[in-house]
Amino acid sequence: MLTDEVGKGATSASRPAYSADNPLRSGGSLIQLITPRGERISHPEFDVWVKDVSDEQLGSLYEDMTVIRRIDAEATALQRQGELALWPPLLGQEASQIGSSRALREDDFVFPSYRESGVAYVRGAELAEIAKVWRGNASYGWDPQRIKLATPQIIIGSQSLHATGYAMGIQHDGADSVVMAYFGDGATSEGDVSEAMVFAASFQAPVVFFCQNNHWAISEPVRLQSHVQIADRPNGFGIPSMRVDGNDVLAVLAATRVALDRARKGGGPTFIEAVTYRMGPHTTADDPTRYRDPNELEDWAAKDPIARLKALLDSKGLLTEQLEAKVQAKADAVAAEFRAGCIDMPDPAPLDVFNHVYSTPNSWIERQKDHYSRYLESFSGSAEEGAL
């Protein structure tokens, strides 16, 4: 699943060169290749970055987006049924997550926030691993080193610095991998994101800052986070940026490829603002009806990322019964596996609470573990002994 042919096919030989002297940002225009009605429109600079995307690959992008929307729905249901403690929905952000992560190479490293379950799916996380954190069975799901995807980051914006540091390590190693940092519009207010841009620019680190502007940080609208368009802010740090239609999977793929290519060639960091919309609540514990105008939701429903790709496929005669059946079957199978993996997950043992705080035994923790273990043992057989 990891980095299919869409990613591997990306070469840059015939594509426009971008450099810090030739900033990508121009006049605040939104990069769009598929309109909300599903029409493919041409773009003088970005068409070339997706011209290798075959009909089959377009279908495969559609499949991934449909599947992660299905995971999202299943997870929300599991939370309502008491099987997950919490879930942060990604509904509406499928194009941003699939378009960007499908552009990555296997050796690239990703530092996500907590909402990038779609990215985790593309990177090759097992479905139960995606559920694990939200069921409360661990603070991690997948092995970060195995699929080159850090664990979900809950401290807002923190991971932007980790991504930059990892990218500095890639530079030291002389490798051409790239790091992708995902965060939201709210995170751009955090000092860490600004510091990450300072470090990334000063060291010209191979990192891509991928900001999903989903318009809401829990109840706070994006206008509270930034007085200018988010894509305008990186330029002050000397980082070129792009503002892309985050509900247009092709545009996201193209923009991400441009940024990755720059970084791979030693061109340094790039910032992408993917303009999208959080169709659901912040998490399953949230109630957006308290702060959001329902008309806004309707407006964005008309720009739905899956509907527009579906319309494009249809217009090209690619939305065959065969494709629909295949995608449906895949989504059903994934949902079933996600549910089973979640429900069948074994609970951790009580004394696991003490494990892995340090890499070697720690005298303080060993003592507390010993005492707690004696405490737990004190209950065994107490029924037979009766009250003392």
Partner 1 sequence: MSTLTFARAINAGLRKSLESDPKVVLMGEDIGTLGGVFRVTDGLQKDFGTHRVVDTPLAESGIIGTAVGLAYRGYRPVCEIQFDGFIYPAFDQIVSQVAKMHYRTQGRVKMPITIRVPFGGGIGSPEHHSESPEAYFTHTSGLRVISVSNPQDAYTMIQQAIASDDPVLYFEPKRRYHDKGEVDETAELATALSMEKARVVNTGSDATLVAYGPLVKTARDAALAAADEGISVEVIDLRSLAPIDFPTVEASVRKTGRLVITHEAAQSGGLGAEIAASITERCFNYLEAAPVRITGFDVPYPYSKLEMHHLPDLDRILDGVDRALGRRNSLSGLEG
Q: How far is the CB of 298 from partner 1 (least distance, A)?
A: 38
Distance CA 386, CA 388 (A): 6
| Nearest Cα residue to 267 out of 167, 143, 124 | 167
Q: How far is the CB of 113 from partner 1 (least distance, A)?
A: 14
| Nearest Cα residue to 309 out of 166, 11, 95, 51 | 95
Q: Please give the radius of gyration of the chain, using alpha carbons only, rounded to the nearest integer.
A: 22
Task: List the one residue from 10, 50, 149, 168 that touches partner 1 (CB under 8 A).
Answer: 168
Q: How far is the CB of 98 from partner 1 (least distance, A)?
A: 24
What residues contact 302, with CB distance under 8 A and at least 6 apart?
36
Residue 196 contacts partner 1 per CB under 8 A: yes
Task: List the one residue from 20, 86, 345, 365 that touches partner 1 (CB under 8 A).
Answer: 365
Residue 38 contacts partner 1 per CB under 8 A: no
Q: How far is the CB of 147 from partner 1 (least distance, A)?
A: 11
- CA-to-CA dists, residue 43 to 118, 206, 250, 360, angstroms: 27, 26, 11, 56
**Strands 216-217, 207-213: pairing kind:** unpaired
- Provide the Cα torsion 64, 69, 72, 74; round to 10°: -100
Contact status, residue 219 vs residue 291, Cβ threshold 8 Å:
yes
Q: Which stretch binds partner 1 (CB under 8 A): 51-59, 74-82, 194-202, 317-325?
A: 194-202
Considering beta carbons, is residue 11 or 202 the nearer one to partner 1?
202
Q: How far is the CB of 265 from partner 1 (least distance, A)?
A: 20
- CA-to-CA dists, residue 215 to 99, 222, 223, 226, 229, angstroms: 19, 5, 8, 11, 12
Between CA 9 and CA 326, with CA 101 as vertex, the angle to 5 degrees is 80
Task: List the one residue from 31, 33, 78, 170 that touches partner 1 (CB under 8 A).
Answer: 170
Q: What are phi and psi of 181, to 5 degrees?
A: -110, 120
Residue 374 contacts partner 1 per CB under 8 A: no
Q: Which stretch binds partner 1 (CB under 8 A): 37-45, 55-63, 193-201, 335-343?
A: 193-201
Using CB under 8 A as the binding rule, the residues of this chain from 128 to 147 that contact partner 1 are 138-140, 143-145
Residue 166 contacts partner 1 per CB under 8 A: yes
Residue 106 contacts partner 1 per CB under 8 A: no
Contact status, residue 310 vs residue 61, Cβ threshold 8 Å:
no
Single-letter amino acid, residue 239: I
Task: List the one residue from 27, 44, 82, 191 that touches partner 1 (CB under 8 A).
Answer: 191
Residue 359 contacts partner 1 per CB under 8 A: yes
Residue 347 contacts partner 1 per CB under 8 A: no
Residue 162 contacts partner 1 per CB under 8 A: yes
Neighbours of 264 (CB within 10 A): 17
Residue 180 contacts partner 1 per CB under 8 A: no
Single-letter amino acid, residue 14: S
Considering beta carbons, is residue 358 or 379 the nearer one to partner 1?
358
Residue 172 contacts partner 1 per CB under 8 A: yes
- Start-end of H helices in 29-93: 55-80
Task: List the one residue from 76, 96, 151, 213 that touches partner 1 (CB under 8 A).
Answer: 151
Q: Note the residues at the interface with partner 1 (CB under 8 A).
A: 109, 111, 138-140, 143-145, 150-151, 155, 158, 160-170, 172-173, 179, 191-192, 195-196, 198-199, 202, 355-360, 362-365
